[in-house]
Amino acid sequence: MSAIVDIMTTEPTTIERSSPLSEAYDILNRAPFHHLIVVEGDDPVGMVASSDILRLVYDADGTDEQRLRTFLDHQFVIDDAMTEELRTIPSSASIRDAAGALADGLAHSVLVMDEGKLVGIVTTTDLVRHLRDSG
C-alpha cells in the first residue's frame, strides 16, 4: 500500500495568522497551489484558499490590484477568510487514509503532522495525480 509521504508536498507554504490578508492573496495569486496554511509560530491554526478570499471580495470585482489589496487589509484579517477546522493525518498514513479524510468533499486538503509538527500537505489534486500516474 502506498504511503502518504510518497505524494505529499513537503515544506508547504505557510503564512502567519497576524499577516495582512493581502499578503495571503499575493502568495496564492502567484503560486501553483490554492491552499495556504495559517500558523501561529509553528502551530497550524487554519487554512485559507483562493476561493475563501474571493468570496470576501466578491463585491470588489473590477477594482485594480492595488485597490483590492488596500480593501482587503482595511476590511478583513486572515481569520475572516481562513478555515479553522483542519483535517490532519500522520506521515505513517496511507494514501487511502488521505482519500478517506477528503472523501466527503468538504475539504480539499489534509495536513500531514508528526508529533504536533507540520511536515506536509496533501490535496485532492495530489490524489488525482497519483491515480492518473499509478494507472
| Cβ-contact 38, 53 below 8 angstroms | no
CATH architecture of 4-134: Roll (3.10)
Amino acid 58: pLDDT: 65
Amino acid 60: pLDDT: 54
Amino acid 125: pLDDT: 92
Task: Write the burial class of residue 23 (CB in 10 Å: 0-12 exposed, 13-18 middle, 19+ buried).
Answer: middle
> How far is the CA of 79 from the CAs of 89, 113, 135, in angstroms?
23, 22, 40
Mean pLDDT by 10 residues, the chain (135 residues): 86 96 94 94 94 75 72 90 94 95 92 95 93 84
* Sequence ranges of the domains in the chain: 4-134
Three-state DSSP at 103 gives coil
CA atoms of 135 and 48, how far apart (whole Å): 32
Amino acid 59: pLDDT: 58
